[in-house]
Every structure is written in structure tokens, then in C-alpha cells.
Amino acid sequence: MTRTIRRTEEDGQSVFRFEDPACDLSGVIVVDSLVLGPATGGCRFWRYDDPAAMLADARRLARGMSYKNAMAGLPLGGGKSVIHRPGGAFDREALFRAFGEVLNDLRGVYLAAEDVGTTPGDMEVVRAQTPFVFGLPASGMQAGGDPSPWTALGVFLCIEQVFARRGMALAGRRVAVQGLGSVGRDLCRQLHAGGATLVVADVHEQAVARLLAEVPAEVVSPHAIHRAHVDLFAPCALGGGLNPQTIPELSAAFVVGAANNQLATPDDGERLHARGILYAPDYVANAGGIINVAAEYLGHDRDAVLARVRRIPDRLTEVLDRAEQTGTSPARVADAMARDLIATASGEAILATG
Ligand code: NAD
């Protein structure tokens, strides 16, 4: 059996289900919006027990990318791909080569990049098949390579910003970091350098050990990290960590992290707001990585990436100011701002062609 791609339209999103049994490849690409440019978002490589959960994840992540790209001022639409990680042994190179062919079949409607479970090396394998992939190792001052350090920097700057908003310095604060992968580890290094005390957790002991080899931290169980007595909670693992069970147990006054889809549902943004916890909408704070990917796509250099990542806290301030002025949750304000940006661009496109 050869490669197949099946397209369906689901609530305004285009869903491409792909399969190449010869290479153990299966998954979905979701194109959420093409208004601002090609649908762009990371390629997640993850094991899902339920195909419906995989699709739901991909669809929410794709919507988040539309909002993230719009709020970061990038000429990109929103999309996401999720490849189902095979259970047994598999040929990783063959699988990612086959994924490259899927991207070719979509002819640039969707641009992929590294995400949870994938590496810049995987993206190089994909690039050997297709131009529609970014997040490749870069040389010299060119933008590119692992987006994680840029994501971590943007989150770090937002953390400094929310403390400053309440007249507090980072030095001496206690910060809980959930998830010590590419972004979480880098964020910990910066927080430690900035004088914060770290409380950390990861489901993988090796990830904890790797961190402790670099910076001191208090280690707690992954089940208890959100309950830690800290000033700020930084979710840097997977999504859905802020939900009706965890939010009442948070002791932090601030939540600022890198994970995508931190809120299990939109109501959880309201729950945080009702508890007086300042939440930095995830896709505003974690845009550093996609800014780097966009620069690679647009041919910009690392200085341009740094300048744009440094402006992330300004967008966050805009969101928090509006939220405070209107008594609305930051999550709701950010969603409305992102939708407005996309709707305005869509209107302008209609006027230009009409
Ligand atoms: P990663 O896979 O390198 O790290 C994730 C870490 O979280 C792993 O160490 C994993 O063991 C740990 N983890 C998983 N479940 C956990 C749990 N329940 N409790 C504690 N730890 C847990 O991923 P990453 O690249 O560091 O990304 C982290 C998050 O940030 C993801 O949600 C990702 O989508 C998001 N994000 C990443 C980037 C980027 O540039 N890498 C950009 C934007 C958003």
C-alpha cells in the first residue's frame, strides 16, 4: 500500500489525514488559517492511544498557531502537524522522509518545523525531500536551528515583565518550572542567572538529573509541581495543565510558561482570572520559536530574531493593560486581539482583490 492523504473540512479547518504504512507513518496536518500567509506550525511526534485525541490536539494546536503568528506580527497563517509515534521499532529516517513527501503533496500550504518529539536533525531529513520545512541547523548569522532557546528567552523576558508590572524584581523570587526539556532547561538557566530560586519537576528522571548538573533546584513530584509554594508557575511540559483540578491548588500569583495550550478549556482562563492569578496567554509568551522559524523562512538574520523576541513583552503588556482596563481575563483579551488581527487582514485581502 502506498501513501494516502485524505482531506476533510471540519469547523472551518482543513484536516489532512496521511498514512504511509510502508514507513509506519500516520498522522494529521491541520490548516487553521491562510489569511496572513502559509499555515505554519511545528510537527509533533507523539504516541496517542486514541486517534480522536490526536486530532483534537492537532486542531487546537493549529488554532493556537494562527493566534500566535498573528499576535507576533508574522506573515504566517496557522497550522500544525502531528505524527503518531509508532509503538514498536521503526526506521526514523524513512518515516520523516515520507513525511517530507506528504508536505510536497500539500505544495506549501503548510510549513513544518521542529516541535515536541522532533529534532532539527529530523527536519534536515524532511528538508532533503521538500522545501516546506524550517527549523534547520543554521550557519553564521543566519536565522534557523533549534527554536527552543528563542522560546525560552521570550518566556524569560515575559516573566521579568510580569514581576516588574507588580513592582517586583526577579531576583529572590521562587519559580516553579514544569517540564525540563529543551525550553524548560534553558529557561531554568536564565532564571537561575537572574537570581530566582527554582522548584522543578519532570516525568523523566534523566531530564531532572541533566538540569541539576547545571543549576541548583528543589525537585518535586510532577503531580505536585503546580502546588509548590512559589511566586510564579511556568508550565513548560505538555498542554492542559491548567484545569479545574489544578487551578484551585495553585499557590503562584503568576503563570507564565512555554507550553502550548496550557488552558484545558477556555473556561480555565476565566478560573485563573477569578482567582486573581495573572496569566500570560501561552501563545503570546512562547512566540520566540516561531519568530525564529519565520526569520528562516523570510531570510532574516539572528539580530532580526533577537529584536523581535525582545518585543514579545510589549505585546504581553498590551494584552494585560487591556485586560485590566476592561476587567476581562488576559486569555479572552488575547483571543479577541488575535481574531481581530486576522479578520482585519482578511478584510483587507477582500478589498484588495474585490
Ligand atoms: P521537550 O519535549 O523538549 O520537553 C518537554 C519536557 O516535559 C520533557 O522533558 C518531558 O519529559 C516533560 N514532561 C512531559 N509531561 C510532563 C509532566 N506531566 N510533568 C512534568 N514534565 C513533563 O519540549 P520543549 O521543546 O521543551 O517544549 C515544551 C513545551 O513548550 C511544549 O508544550 C511545546 O509545545 C511548547 N513550545 C515549545 C517551543 C519550542 O521552541 N521548542 C515553542 C513554543 C512552544
Summarize pLDDT for 203-217 with one digit per residue, the tens.
Answer: 999 999 999 999 999
Does ligand 1 come within 6 angstroms of the Cβ of 33? no
96 with 190, same domain?
Answer: no
Domain count within the chain: 2
203 with 328, same domain?
Answer: yes
**CA distances (Å), 103 to each of 3, 37, 161, in order?**
12, 16, 38
Evaluate if residue 337 carries a pLDDT over 90: yes
Structure confidence by residue, pLDDT tens digits, 109-168: 999 998 889 988 999 999 999 999 998 887 778 887 888 999 999 999 999 999 999 999
36 with 109, same domain?
Answer: yes
329 with 202, same domain?
Answer: yes
101 with 199, same domain?
Answer: no
In a domain, 138, yes or no: no
How far is it, in rounded angstroms, from Cα 116 to Cα 257?
A: 15
80 is catalytic: yes
Structure confidence by residue, pLDDT tens digits, 259-275: 999 999 999 999 999 99
Does ligand 1 come within 6 angstroms of the Cβ of 179? yes
In a domain, 117, yes or no: yes
Categorize the per-residue pLDDT at 351 as very low, low, confident or very high, splitting at 50, 70 and 90: low
pLDDT at 320 (0 to 100): 98
Residue whose grid cell is 529572590: 172
197 with 335, same domain?
Answer: yes
260 with 166, same domain?
Answer: yes
Pairing of strands 13-20, 4-10: antiparallel
Distance 202 CA to ligand 1 centre (A): 10
pLDDT at 139 (0 to 100): 74
117 with 178, same domain?
Answer: no
pLDDT at 173 (0 to 100): 98
Does ligand 1 come within 6 angstroms of the Cβ of 263? no
156 with 89, same domain?
Answer: no
Structure confidence by residue, pLDDT tens digits, 106-120: 999 999 998 889 988
Q: What is the mean pLDDT of residues 281-293?
A: 96
pLDDT at 346 (0 to 100): 82
Half-sphere exposure of 271 (CA within 13 A, CB side): 17
CATH of residue 270's domain is 3.40.50.720
107 with 168, same domain?
Answer: no
In a domain, 307, yes or no: no
165 with 238, same domain?
Answer: yes
Supply the range of the domain harboring residue 57. 4-65+75-127
